[in-house]
Structure 1
Amino acid sequence: MTTISGRVDIGLNAFVVPMAQTIVGSMADGRPNFMAAAWLTRVNSKPPLLGVAISKRHHTHAAITATGQFSVNVPTVEMTAVTDYVGLVSGAWVDKSGLFEVFHGHLDAAPLIRQCPLAIECRVYTAVDLPGDTFFIGEIAGAWCADDCLDADGAPDPRLLRPVLLTMPDNRYWSMGDVVGRAWHDGKALRGGGGEAG
């Protein structure tokens, strides 16, 4: 084990910061299909783009490639077991369409999960070919939030969404912690007369 200046080399699998655990929806073989996915991120604001990495071996990969659409559904901590399950079994062999109550927004091949308090439908904007995965970048066509998860201003409240978080390589699920600050605000006192961010 290598140590430098009080820091230990933990290897290349350094993705230890919690990620949002989601359920990606697609239409495969004419029916809704779902898989667990946490390798996703916002990648652009205008247009609003969301990227998700999907292994080329997954049934979901073929479905998204065929239809050009997918959904990203945010499960609650109470949905941890079923979320894990949809990541353990392949839609190529198991029909997962009956696990959830499904609805559609603006897109016909991006099944949304009613039990998830936040469900986002996307059209594939572009796809980046990677060695083992494809990074599908989707343009958000609609985002649907349960009305009981909105705050007084009508915005989604993360505390009410109760999202599941994933850490790797220990492969553990977590719940969200406390608010610790305000973005684009708390650092202003340190900025002084500096210019714009970036």
Structure 2
Amino acid sequence: MGCTDSVSPFCQLPTDKWQWHPSPLAGQIVYVTTRSDAGEVNLAPKSWVSMAAFHGPIIGFGCSRQHQTYTNATATGMFTINFPTAEQAGRAAQVADAPREFRLRASGLSLDGVRTSGVPHLRECPAYMECHLVKSVEFDGGETFLFGKIDVIAIHRELSSLPIEEAYARLAPAFFCEPGVIGELRPLTTTTIR
């Protein structure tokens, strides 16, 4: 879709997010782990995640009510958000497409223990948050946004003592921009902010 208005310096995009090109709103790619009532762990990539409140603190992510993530989180009241590096997030599409029982293998990652939530985190990811569900907001089209209180937030030990630029470089988050496009965090330089 091209711009048809030659007067305005802006090109209006359709309201359908799947048609935003380029998308001005990138979403950080995370892996959410949940556990079913039967104890089975589910892994799912998500890219609509955001802090919602300092007090709690509260974090939230978007999900479909048909997804196992929603079923597990609302049944048990728990979930863990894992923060992969750009390299680890590069497998997100394969993880999403894999049958549930093969998602962990498709990710190339492994499960580690839990501190409070009863939901394991991914050992190789540089950071994770164990959360308990505080609210689910339902939207049309079977969509929902799950809000959780962060009970535990942890980063790999070596990151906590690094200079800030190096710590973020090692966190190396990836962002879903639009179908087929993943971006990476790039440090600002004096030439980038001119």
TM-score normalised over the length of structure 1 = 0.79
1:20 and 2:23 equivalent?
Answer: no
Whole-angstrom distance in 2 between the partners of 1:7 and 1:152: 41
Q: Which amino acid aligns with 1:21?
A: I
Aligned partners of 1:150 and 1:55: how far apart in 2? 34
Worse-superposed segment, 14-23 or 96-105: 96-105
Number of aligned residue pairs:
177
Give the aligned partner of residue 66 of structure 1.
75
Percent identity reads 20
Residue 160 of structure 2, aligned match among 150, 161, 165? 150
Q: Offset at 1:90?
A: 4.5
Task: Compare the two structures and name the one with the higher helix fraction.
Answer: 2
For residues 44 and 74 of structure 1, the distance between their equivalents in structure 2, rounded to whole angstroms, comes to 19
Aligned to 1:189: none
Equivalences for residues 45-84 of structure 1 within 5 A: 45-84=54-93
C-alpha separation between the residues in 1 aligned to 2:42 and 2:95? 9
- Aligned partner of 1:172: which letter? V
Partner of 1:5: 8
Separation of aligned partners in 2, 1:65 and 1:90: 21
Q: 1:118 aligns with which of 115, 119, 127?
A: 127
Give the distance between the partners of 2:129 and 2:137, measured in 1 at CA: 20
2:48 is aligned with 1:39: yes
Spell out the pairing of 1:130-145 with structure 2 (5 A cutoff): 130-131=139-140, 132-145=142-155
53-62 or 94-103: bigger deviation: 94-103
Deviation at 1:141, TM superposition (A): 0.5
1:34-55 residue CA offsets vs partner (Å, 9 max, x unmatched):
0000101100001100011111
Partner in structure 1 of residue 116 of structure 2: 106
Structure 1 outlier segments of 4+, above 4 Å = none
CA-atom RMSD, angstroms?
A: 2.4
* Structure 2, gaps ≥5 residues long: none
Structure 1 spans left out of the alignment, 5+ residues: 182-198
